[in-house]
C-alpha cells in the first residue's frame, strides 16, 4: 500500500472511524456477564434512574358480613428506587513520534495501535466483569495468613465463608490494589495514606491454586495482617482528604454489583441499596440461603430449597442461575449417572447447564462458594453510553502538558441495578473444590 500523507485532524478522524464502533461492540464479543442482561428502557432523569416501589402491608381486605363495616385502610408506603450512573475509563498513550510517523504511513500507524487499544479495552471490560459481582465500593477480598512483608511482599486471598465475596480470577499481573485495616476501614491504608491517590501496590503474580498474591519487588514495607481488606486501586479515594468513595451506593465509583444488589443486609457495605433502607423496607431484601458461615456440600435438595424460598418470598419462579467452575463440578458430580443436564454453549463464550428448566450459566469470575439465582428481568443495565472512544467534542487526542505524548480516552457511562430483589437470591457457604 502506498504511503498516505495526512494532517493531524485527518488522522484523528481515522481513529474515530476505525475504532469508534468497533470498541463499542467489544462487550458483545467479550466473555463478560453483562452481555446476558438487557438494557433498561427507563429514562435517565438527569441525576439517576428512578423506579417506584410499593411496600407491603396496610391493605383493607378480608371477608365481612353484609352489614359489617370494612376496616379502615392504612396509607400505602411508596418509595423511590434510585439507580445512579457510574463512569468507567481506560487511557491509551501515543507518542509524538508515532503521530509524526503516521503522516508518512497512516495505515501502518493504525495497524500498530490496533492491538494496544483493543488490549486496553479488554482490560477495562475484564475489571467490569469482576465489578459486576462485587459490593460497589471496590472491596474485593480479605487477607489471610501466611503473610510476608518487605520488598516483594505477598499475602493470601481469603475465600472462606463469611469473608468479602471474592475470586482469585479477579487479580492479574500488572493490576494495582490498595490494602486497608479492617477495623478502621477505610481510614488506615497499608500502602500509603488515606486521602492520597495513586499509591497502589502493583501485582507481580496471582497464583490460582494457592491464592497467593505477590507484590512487585520494592513496593511494600508496611505490615499486612490477617483480615485486612483488599480493594481495587483508588476505589476508596477521592479528591478530598479522608473522603470515602464507597460506603454506600450513593457515593461509590464502581458498578453496583450482585453482592449488594442480591443481599439481605449481610454482605453489602450498607443496608441502604439504591436509596432503599432494607432494615425499614424488608421487602427489598433478597433471599440468602446460608449455613452460618460453615461450608457444606452442594446437594440438589439444597438448590431446590433455595429456589422454593425465592418463590415463597416473591411469588415468582427463578429462570436464571450463575456459578463458578467449582460449583459446576459439584453439580456435575451429583449428575454423573444422569446425562439429561444438557450442557451447551451460549453466545459470547458462556457455558450453560440446566437445572430443571433453568439456565445455569458458568462464569470464571463468579465468587467462590456460591450460586446466584434470579428472575432475570429484574436485573438490568442502565446505560447512558456504552464503552467506546470518548469523542463528544469530536475525535481528539490530548497532549500531556510539557511532554511529547498524546492520550486517547476510552470509556462509558452505565451502572447495574435491580427492581425486585426478593425475586433473586444467593446460595452461599458451599464447599469450593
- Position 139 confidence tier, pLDDT thresholds 50, 70, 90: very high
Percent of the chain with pLDDT over 90: 41
| Spatial distance between the Cα atoms of 354 and 361, rounded to a whole number of angstroms | 9
Is 150 in contact with 208 (CB distance < 8 Å)?
Answer: no
- Position 48 scores a pLDDT of 85
- Position 164 confidence tier, pLDDT thresholds 50, 70, 90: very high
249 pLDDT exceeds 90?
A: no
430 pLDDT exceeds 60?
A: yes
Give the N- to C-terminal CA distance of the chain in Å, as an integer.
55
- Position 105 scores a pLDDT of 61
- Position 341 confidence tier, pLDDT thresholds 50, 70, 90: very low
- Position 414 scores a pLDDT of 92
5 pLDDT exceeds 60?
A: no
234 pLDDT exceeds 60?
A: yes
**Closest of 127, 124, 152, 295 to residue 212, by C-alpha:** 152
pLDDT tens column, 369-427: 999 999 999 999 999 988 887 776 555 567 778 778 777 788 899 999 999 999 999 99
- Position 111 confidence tier, pLDDT thresholds 50, 70, 90: low
pLDDT tens column, 325-334: 999 999 888 8
Between helix 106-131 and helix 8-24 the angle, nearest 10°, is 40
Q: Decide: pTM greater than 0.85.
A: no
Mean pLDDT calculated for residue range 339-350 = 47
186 pLDDT exceeds 50?
A: yes
- Position 3 scores a pLDDT of 43
Lowest mean pLDDT among 202-216, 261-275, 310-324, 380-394: 380-394
Lowest mean pLDDT among 163-177, 182-196, 213-227, 261-275: 213-227
Between 141 and 118, the higher pLDDT residue: 141
Percent of the chain with pLDDT over 70: 75
pLDDT tens column, 40-81: 988 888 788 988 887 766 566 677 777 777 766 555 667 889
Evaluate the CA torsion angle 161, 163, 165, 168 in order and state its sign.
negative
265 pLDDT exceeds 80?
A: yes
337 pLDDT exceeds 50?
A: yes
8 pLDDT exceeds 60?
A: no
- Position 247 scores a pLDDT of 45
**Closest of 111, 115, 114 to residue 4, by C-alpha:** 111
Q: What is the mean pLDDT of the chain?
A: 80
251 pLDDT exceeds 70?
A: no
- Position 4 confidence tier, pLDDT thresholds 50, 70, 90: very low
pLDDT tens column, 15-32: 444 444 444 444 444 456
Lowest mean pLDDT among 2-11, 89-98, 256-265, 413-422: 2-11
312 pLDDT exceeds 50?
A: yes
Residues 6+ apart with CB under 8 A from 315: none
Domain 138-243 sits in CATH at 2.40.30
Mean pLDDT calculated for residue range 3-21 = 46
- Position 308 scores a pLDDT of 96
- Position 282 confidence tier, pLDDT thresholds 50, 70, 90: very high
Between 22 and 115, the higher pLDDT residue: 115
- Position 395 scores a pLDDT of 52
Q: Where in the chain is the domain with CATH 2.40.30?
A: 138-243
- Position 98 scores a pLDDT of 65
Between 349 and 404, the higher pLDDT residue: 404
pLDDT tens column, 284-306: 999 999 999 999 999 999 999 99
Amino acid at each position: 500500500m502506498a504511503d498516505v500523507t495526512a494532517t493531524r485532524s485527518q488522522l484523528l478522524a481515522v481513529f474515530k472511524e476505525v475504532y469508534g464502533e468497533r470498541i463499542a461492540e467489544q462487550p458483545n464479543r467479550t466473555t463478560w456477564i453483562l452481555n446476558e442482561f438487557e438494557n433498561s428502557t427507563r429514562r435517565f432523569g438527569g441525576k439517576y434512574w428512578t423506579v417506584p416501589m410499593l411496600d407491603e402491608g396496610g391493605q383493607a381486605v378480608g371477608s365481612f358480613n353484609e352489614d359489617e363495616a370494612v376496616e379502615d385502610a392504612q396509607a400505602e408506603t411508596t418509595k423511590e428506587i434510585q439507580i445512579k450512573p457510574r463512569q468507567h475509563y481506560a487511557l491509551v498513550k501515543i507518542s509524538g513520534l508515532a503521530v509524526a510517523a503516521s503522516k508518512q504511513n497512516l495505515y501502518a500507524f493504525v495497524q500498530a495501535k490496533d492491538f494496544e487499544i483493543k488490549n486496553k479495552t479488554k482490560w477495562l471490560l475484564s475489571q467490569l466483569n469482576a465489578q459486576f459481582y462485587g459490593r460497589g465500593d471496590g472491596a474485593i477480598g480479605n487477607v489471610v495468613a501466611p503473610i510476608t512483608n518487605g520488598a516483594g511482599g505477598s499475602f493470601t486471598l481469603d475465600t472462606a465463608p463469611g469473608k468479602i465475596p471474592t475470586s482469585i480470577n479477579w487479580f492479574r499481573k500488572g493490576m494495582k490494589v490498595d490494602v486497608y485495616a479492617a477495623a478502621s476501614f477505610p481510614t488506615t491504608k497499608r500502602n500509603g495514606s488515606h486521602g492520597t491517590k495513586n499509591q497502589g501496590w502493583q501485582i507481580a503474580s496471582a497464583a490460582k491454586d494457592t491464592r497467593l498474591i505477590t507484590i512487585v519487588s520494592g513496593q511494600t514495607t508496611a505490615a499486612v495482617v490477617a483480615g485486612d481488606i483488599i480493594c481495587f486501586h483508588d476505589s476508596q479515594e477521592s479528591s478530598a482528604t479522608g473522603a470515602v468513595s464507597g460506603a454506600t451506593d450513593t457515593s461509590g465509583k464502581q458498578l453496583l454489583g450482585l453482592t449488594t444488589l442480591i443481599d439481605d443486609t449481610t454482605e453489602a457495605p450498607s443496608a441502604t441499596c439504591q436509596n432503599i433502607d432494607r432494615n425499614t423496607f424488608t421487602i427489598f431484601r433478597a433471599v440468602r440461603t446460608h449455613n452460618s458461615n460453615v461450608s457444606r456440600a452442594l446437594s440438589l435438595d439444597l438448590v431446590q430449597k433455595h429456589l422454593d424460598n425465592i418463590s415463597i418470598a416473591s411469588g415468582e419462579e427463578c429462570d436464571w442461575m450463575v456459578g463458578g467452575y467449582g460449583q459446576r463440578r459439584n453439580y456435575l458430580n451429583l449428575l454423573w449417572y444422569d446425562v439429561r443436564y444438557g450442557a451447551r454453549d451460549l453466545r459470547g463464550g458462556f457455558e450453560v447447564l440446566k437445572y430443571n428448566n433453568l439456565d445455569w450459566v458458568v462464569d470464571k469470575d463468579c465468587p467462590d462458594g456460591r450460586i446466584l439465582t434470579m428472575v432475570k428481568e429484574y436485573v438490568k443495565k442502565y446505560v447512558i453510553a456504552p464503552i467506546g472512544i470518548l469523542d463528544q467534542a469530536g475525535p481528539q487526542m490530548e497532549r500531556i502538558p510539557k511532554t511529547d505524548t498524546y492520550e486517547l480516552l476510552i470509556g462509558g457511562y452505565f451502572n447495574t441495578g435491580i427492581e425486585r430483589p426478593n425475586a433473586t437470591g444467593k446460595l452461599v457457604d458451599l464447599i469450593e473444590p
